[in-house]
Chains A and B, each alone.
Chain A
Amino acid sequence: MSGGAGSVGRVSGARWPTSQVEGLSPDAASLVAARKLALGGGWSECGCSDRAVWGLAQGSGKQPYRAVVDLAGPAYSCSCPSRKFPCKHALALLLRWSGGVDVPDGAAPPEYAATWLAGRTERAERAEARAEAKAETAGEPAGGLADPEAAARRREQRAERVAGGLVELERWLADQVRGGLAGVPAKGYAAFEPVAARMTDAQAPGIASWLRALPAVVASGERWPERLLEELALLHLLVRAHARLPELDELDPGLAATVRQAVGYPVAKEAVLAEPAVLDTWSVVGLRDSELGTLAQRTVWLTGRDTGRDAVVLSFAAPGQSLDATLVPGTAIVGGLHFYPGARPRRALVGEHAAPVPHLDPPPVCRVAAALDRVAEALAADPWARDVAVWVDAVPARAAYQGGWVVVDELGEALPLRAGPDPWRLVATCGGLRHPVLLDWSPTGWLPLSVLTGDGLVTL
């Protein structure tokens, strides 16, 4: 058993805090089991280096299980038959290492560990290539590139395919509004699946995912025709924008990048990392996990103390892998972020940085009116924007309309929260008093991500 996630920058030196190790657990039951193991006896020949931790765990069999963890990843290897990543032995080993229990520094790794670590580089590259290939079909830009000529040819071919696909998309859009949206619900998924598949073939995976999200809009309630028209209209806008990319590349490269990203052109990780890093003290202020097809996706929000910029870091994990846990809400990293190009640069990759420290700068809170202004600014720069993160000083309250919730600021103005399960954790954390709340705007409402309380940052 071995597995690992894409790495997000290297960290040297300090042992991870327990909360970070606990965050690696694939589920709550595993964490409980790992704690039991970590507290118990049966451990021998444990050690660690800058890069890895290893040890022997006595299980129920005769031979002890050999566990190794590669900290750059992280990735795990254990001789037990478990199919979980990390298994309880690896997790327990990390708990002991983190707690400073009997896992001494400096020794050379034993043979089983050294062999695995050496072979891991090769396997990690293969695994990463596979994850990238999968991510590309899901709309996530892939990395890696060969010689510039072949790359240029590939780009031209792609541009042609996309252009062809978009002509068909335009025709499809016209058909929808000519025939009338009233007929859409009856068709179910068949309304969107064929054109989405066509977009995937045309190498426009961003548009394909967008189309595949439209059945949810149709099912969203009474006002679905309005919402669907909005989405179709923005697709139309994107088609038009793409047709004028050559102009945009000269006049407004940021917007051109946004258009390409929305269509789904890949952006090489190396290219992003080659851009100059924005150096600052970046506070990790929010974390949310979601599903993207078969992949698990982790979104981490950061705010820069001096630059005042917002950033979002995405990471992915294939089934069975655990998500990257180096960015922990409530900590700050001093270092550089490399932003993806766009009209409104938000998505970033983490570059060189020091180890995270528990620290949080006071966030830039504002009132509801200013938050709405921030949304307007974002949409002015990028009309296809689907998320804007804002800190608002507010308290949750029930809305005047049935079943809804809002957050209310000092002046009594309110923002509607996205429909869904009641936001009890937010309500409980605020306790009826206003707090700085990190909210994420979307076309269907605001989603609370984190709250800053007297005891620190609370992720919702």
Chain B
Amino acid sequence: MSGFDAGGGAAGGLGAADARDVGAGWAELVATAVQGTARRSAAVEVFDGVLEHGEYLHAMEPTERLLGLAALTTAGRRAGAAALTGASPATPALPETRPVAPGLARWFDGLLVGHRELLGELLEGMGERGLLLPPTRLPDLLDLAAAEVGLADAALAVGGERGRWLAGQDPRWAGVVARLEAPGMSGGAAEGTVAGARDTPGTPGKVPREAVTPGERDTPGTPGKVPREAVSPGEWEAAREALTHGREPADVRERLVWTIARYPFDGVDELLDQSLDDRAVGVRRTAARALGARMASAYQQRMAQRATSWVAVQRRGGFLGRGRTEIVVTLPESLDEAARRDLVDKEAHLLGPAIKGEKAQWLHAVVAATPLAAWAAAGEPAELIRAEVDAGWGPVLLQAWTARAVAEARHRSPLAGAWAAALLDDGMTTAGSERLLIAIDPLARVRAVIDRLSHPGDPSIGPRFAGAVPHPWPVDVLDAVLHTIVRGGDAHAWGWGEVIGGIGRREPTEHLARLDAAAHASMGTRATLLQRAADTMRLRAGLAAALDEAAAQAFSRGIPNREAPPHPPEGDTP
């Protein structure tokens, strides 16, 4: 210190101090301070000869002496800290093969906080353009991938080699590492499917844990969504093993049944049928549901037999077999054992208001599992649908046929299209009939939706049908939907909320002018909802522009050199 004498010989301080003596002295001071000089006196002789002017301190009060010595040693101790040794850094990350887009980092920050629903669009957009996020954002990106399964693949594609490396640095990202090593994840943009929470290929040989619990909207066995390469024979074996021997807990078996229904292997039908004998009711229920949606299993045959025996189609009068068609439904008093096995009772609330009572549930289950081809002998779809049905079973049949047509449509059966058209004819609707839209041709689809937009009796039908059309919509549908919303009063405005939100989030941004116009032309809640959607669409347009600009800039700059960070000339500069 520059000539400063704090009355305690701070100038010179520790002098030619022996580190051990100072250390011992310091420990002595701390021990005394903790107990208090009233109770303990510090053995400060150890400081003699170590401190210049140290002897001066002996003359003072014990408290002053302690504080003075502590003051002298503290600065010295802080300044004299030694370097640590023994730490070994991790192996460096591999160099990137794709460019980084620094301009998009702020978009990422902003959307993460304010508009998480658009994060998928940002990340997928970056993935499509082969851009990476800067390394500072990688911890947040990995946390996101760990927390939101639906975004995980898109997020990891944007993290690059550095993201992969970082994930391996801490156990909190172990799940992310496992995902990176799962089959089908090559590090580039995931081909075709950005796996959502419902379609997650699991780690080979392990029980998939990500499969979501069956909800009302999910149908086990939707084909075509899981890329074949993503399911290994090993996984199939593991699943078969687990279900046959039943050693896994019930909820795991239930999820397994759900998952294998999508597998393209032979033997799935048999395994599902076997699971009807499982000891847990949840597993049996899921198996029954999965089997009900299959095309041509033994289950279908059994159900078709029951259908033909319970439901009799008759013709009355008219020339050449035309005239009125009547349907007579005869249900057994109680189910036999085989029927009880096949018809595991379903949760009533899932079936909708038309299905009241146990017998109605039986009829619905049987008809919904019966292949549409089984009715070919009885008549044309249009006939059967318009037939008179006794004892009020009509609505049950309609709903069951609708469910079956939806299931067969997912397997792309040609019959499904004919039935779907017939079921949607003339404005007919029943629970779930909006799902038939995908089975009819696009022009008919537009007609079907537009006709139902403002249903006088049931205001929920319009939003239901609009919501079932996959984005991007045909322009006619968009115009009609916006027109309906603008014209409507404030009542039922919230029913359109989800549809409006979907427009803002998923319709192409060219439609911004339409959406703005609709927002300006409406009032109240509808105006608020439309304005919000317009703002989201505007933001997406800005995002798309930012993505394009980032891509242009990145490729003109080239791939960053990650081999050697700048090392200025060596030397210890004062």
Which residue numbers of A lie inside 8 Å of B, CB to CB? 22, 27-29, 31-33, 35-36, 39-40, 60, 173-174, 177-182, 225-226, 229-230, 232-234, 236-237, 240-241, 243-244, 248, 251-252, 254-255, 308, 343, 362-370, 372-376, 379-381, 383, 393, 395-400, 406, 408, 412-416, 422, 424-425, 427-429, 431-436, 443, 452-455, 458, 460
User: Is the beta-carbon distance between A27 and B67 smaller than 8 angstroms?
Assistant: no
Interface string of B159-176 (1 = CB under 8 A from A): 000100110011000000
Q: A36-B538, A432-B93 are in contact. List 4 more A-B contacts (CB 8 A).
A: A31-B106, A36-B535, A365-B568, A432-B89
User: Is the beta-carbon distance between B135 and A428 smaller than 8 angstroms?
Assistant: yes
List the A side residues contacting B87 at CB < 8 Å: 397-400, 406, 408, 412, 414
CB-contact partner of B170 in A173, A180, A422, A434, under 8 A: A422
CB-contact partner of B2 in A178, A255, A435, under 8 A: A255
CB-contact partner of A232 in B70, B93, B113, B115, under 8 A: B70
User: Is the beta-carbon distance between B37 and A178 smaller than 8 angstroms?
Assistant: yes
Stretch in contact with the other chain, from B3-11, B362-370, B486-494 = B3-11
User: Is the beta-carbon distance between A414 and B85 smaller than 8 angstroms?
Assistant: yes
B427: shortest Cβ distance to chain A, in Å? 38
Interface string of B504-531 (1 = CB under 8 A from A): 0000000000000000000000000001
Residue of A at shortest CB range from B527? A60
Residue of A at shortest CB range from B535? A36
Judge if B36 is at the interface, Cβ distance under 8 Å. yes
Residue of A at shortest CB range from B100? A455
Number of interchain pairs (Cβ within 8 Å): 250
In angstroms, Cα B6 to Cα A252, docked, is 13
In angstroms, Cα B573 to Cα A365, docked, is 7
Given A364-B573, A424-B139, A428-B166: A226 in contact with B30 (beta carbons within 8 A): yes
In angstroms, Cα B511 to Cα A354, docked, is 46
Interface residues of B in 130-167 (CB under 8 A from A): 134-136, 138-139, 162, 165-166
Interface residues of B in 1-35 (CB under 8 A from A): 1-8, 10, 26, 29-30, 32-35
User: Is the beta-carbon distance between A443 and B78 smaller than 8 angstroms?
Assistant: yes
List the B side residues contacting A32 at CB < 8 Å: 110-111, 113-115, 539
Judge if B201 is at the interface, Cβ distance under 8 Å. no
Interface string of B533-550 (1 = CB under 8 A from A): 001001101100000000
Interface residues of B in 164-197 (CB under 8 A from A): 165-166, 169-170
Residue of B at shortest CB range from A42? B516
User: Is the beta-carbon distance between A40 and B538 smaller than 8 angstroms?
Assistant: yes
CB-contact partner of A35 in B113, B539, B573, under 8 A: B539
User: Is the beta-carbon distance between B85 and A412 smaller than 8 angstroms?
Assistant: yes
Given A414-B84, A428-B162: A177 in contact with B67 (beta carbons within 8 A): yes
Stretch in contact with the other chain, from B58-66, B269-277, B282-290, B405-413 = B58-66
B568: shortest Cβ distance to chain A, in Å? 4
Q: How many residues of B contact A (CB 8 A)?
A: 87
List the A side residues contacting B556 at CB < 8 Å: none
List the B side residues contacting A383 at CB < 8 Å: 1, 10, 71, 74-75
User: Is the beta-carbon distance between B109 and A433 smaller than 8 angstroms?
Assistant: no
Judge if B39 is at the interface, Cβ distance under 8 Å. yes
List the B side residues contacting A29 at CB < 8 Å: 110, 113-114
Please give me the 6 A-B residue pairs with the lowest Cβ-Cβ distance, nearest first: A180-B36, A432-B92, A233-B70, A370-B572, A424-B139, A413-B83
Judge if B233 is at the interface, Cβ distance under 8 Å. no
Given A379-B75, A414-B84: A240 in contact with B113 (beta carbons within 8 A): no
Interface string of B348-386 (1 = CB under 8 A from A): 000000000000000000000000000000000000000
In angstroms, Cα B3 to Cα A376, docked, is 16
User: Is the beta-carbon distance between B113 and A429 smaller than 8 angstroms?
Assistant: no
In angstroms, Cα B326 to Cα A379, docked, is 101
User: Is the beta-carbon distance between B2 and A177 smaller than 8 angstroms?
Assistant: no
List the A side residues contacting B565 at CB < 8 Å: 433-436, 452-454
Given A32-B114, A398-B87: A379 in contact with B170 (beta carbons within 8 A): no
In angstroms, Cα B574 to Cα A408, docked, is 20
In angstroms, Cα B565 to Cα A79, docked, is 49
Interface residues of B in 439-466 (CB under 8 A from A): none
Residue of A at shortest CB range from B69? A233
List the B side residues contacting A393 at CB < 8 Å: 567
Q: Which of B77, B139, B564 has the most CB of A within 10 A?
A: B139
User: Is the beta-carbon distance between A431 and B110 smaller than 8 angstroms?
Assistant: no
Interface string of B67-111 (1 = CB under 8 A from A): 110110111011111111111111111000000101000100111
In angstroms, Cα B83 to Cα A370, docked, is 10
List the B side residues contacting A424 at CB < 8 Å: 138-139, 166, 170
Given A28-B114, A431-B165: A414 in contact with B71 (beta carbons within 8 A): no
B167: shortest Cβ distance to chain A, in Å? 10
User: Is the beta-carbon distance between B35 and A372 smaller than 8 angstroms?
Assistant: no
B168: shortest Cβ distance to chain A, in Å? 11
User: Is the beta-carbon distance between B84 and A415 smaller than 8 angstroms?
Assistant: yes
User: Is the beta-carbon distance between B538 and A39 smaller than 8 angstroms?
Assistant: yes
Given A177-B66, A180-B39: A255 in contact with B531 (beta carbons within 8 A): no
User: Is the beta-carbon distance between A174 and B135 smaller than 8 angstroms?
Assistant: no
Residue of A at shortest CB range from B95? A431
Residue of B at shortest CB range from A184? B34
